[in-house]
Amino acid sequence: MREIIFDTETTGIDPRQGHRMVEIGCVELVDRMPTGETFHAYYNPERDMPAEAEAIHGLSAQFLADKPRFADEVDTFLDFVGDDKLVAHNAGFDFAFLNAELELCAREPICLSRKIDTLEMARRKNPGGKHSLDALCTRYGVDRSHRVFHGALLDAELLAQVYIELTGGRQIAMGLLAAEEENSASTIAVAAPLAASADRPPRPPRPHSASAAELARHTAFLERISRPIWNR
């Protein structure tokens, strides 16, 4: 089963107000494990970069000025994600920007049936707790010490680790869970019992019975109990 963990960075919070996507990062998972395959791109938004947005991700209009437009690279992105599920944190935000960009270049939007939202998953699993990506990294022991600014690929890599924990943890990699789509049996190999060897002489049984002295001490101990429950 292939899934794509992704994150976006933008010029603002609402594409309906003319805000644009400026960065996208994707991490490929197969059977809930990272394969090492990623997709990462910066895009020229063809507009200014508000200071409050730049303070979050550190991407200036000057830095993005020589980057391609999303429309120029859309096929590369679509080829990478294919038809697989797309996983994001607060996925409604990322899907809104991604589909707005696809609409601007006259492409079909990505169907929302492909959406998996880790924010909704975290709220169901830990109601009442904190559910930001930072909070979930802390909860699941994911190292985010290198995260100074928000970055689409870095955040997708962190989210991939969080998603693995939200969906059962790393025991999946050890074959403790059956494959979801194949209903296959566990792949754990069970070692066969050791066969007796003709070259190995049998050992005499070890004494496990209490000695007479031990039995006497035990009887004396029981006699000191005034109301033993086994006599009720």
Catalytic residues: 150
Specify whether the CB–CB gap between 72 and 104 falls below 8 A.
Answer: no
CA–chain centroid gap for 135, Å, is 14
- What are residue 71's phi and psi, to 5 degrees? -60, -30
CA distance 38 to 188: 29
| Nearest Cα residue to 1 out of 125, 136, 184, 187 | 184
What is the C-alpha to C-alpha distance for residues 58 and 53, in angstroms, rounded to an integer?
Answer: 8
d(CA 134, CA 166): 14
Task: Please list the residues that pair with 34 across neighbouring strands.
Answer: 29
